[in-house]
A and B are shown apart, each in its own frame.
Chain A
Amino acid sequence: MLHIINKSPLTNGSLDSCLRVAQSGDILLIEDAVVAATSGNACAAKLQEAMGRCKVYVLQPDLDARGLGDRLLEGVSPVDYGGFVDLTLSNKNCQSWL
């Protein structure tokens, strides 16, 4: 399953909830959730721990828009909107953790 997260883990529990139940699959961070994919953020360790069972992607245009392109967290793969489309297809299903 592709898990799509769109909120900052520093202010909202969506990423936490996703990481709690997701056993495998891909995680894509979009909109305000891109802050989770930056080095030095307080939730980075949690995301890196999840990389053992899930592959983590970030939507580069959302990262760039927020001026955070200079601090991509190691292990996170950037994708553009086309890559986002591909991820929905390479996974059997998807869920937006709104």
Chain B
Amino acid sequence: MSDMKKFMFVNRKAPYGTIYALESLEVVLITAAFDQDVSLVFMDDGVYQLKKGQQTKGIETKNFSPAYRALEGYDVEKLYVEKESMEARGLSEEDLLVDVVVLSRAEMGELMDQQDVVLSF
């Protein structure tokens, strides 16, 4: 595809309770394969998608959290977490599977404004 656009994926839901987090990840990987500018945002319960130590054996569901570590290999390197969402859940950057950029509410709003396509899951 000739033109590149800024795609942002906003993840606001916890994993496993619904399929949105997993199917969002599938779109992210495809979008990266199409050489688009990809940003991932984790806010509200979406921050839980990145929590270290997910053990899904007991719910007989595939643990897809290792895929977040593989994103770098697809040149998906812009991962953002909203500060207040993280803090409201008693989490810090050390609790997360991958390196992220922590943004204030205002910075997050500005980043969203700069996008061409925003998909929220």
Q: Which residues of A contact B (CB under 8 A)?
A: 1, 13-14, 17, 20-25, 92-98
Contact = CB atoms under 8 A, between A and B. Distances in A.
Given A17-B12, A23-B113, A25-B113, A93 B105 contact: no
A93 to B, nearest CB: 6
B112 interface: yes
Interface residues of B, number: 20
Contacts of B109: 21-23
Contacts of A96: 120
Nearest to A17: B44
B12 A93 contact: no
Given A93-B115, A95-B10, A20 B121 contact: no
Given A22-B112, A23-B113, A93-B115, 10 more contacts: A1-B113, A1-B118, A20-B84, A20-B105, A21-B108, A21-B112, A92-B113, A93-B113, A97-B120, A98-B12
B112 A95 contact: yes
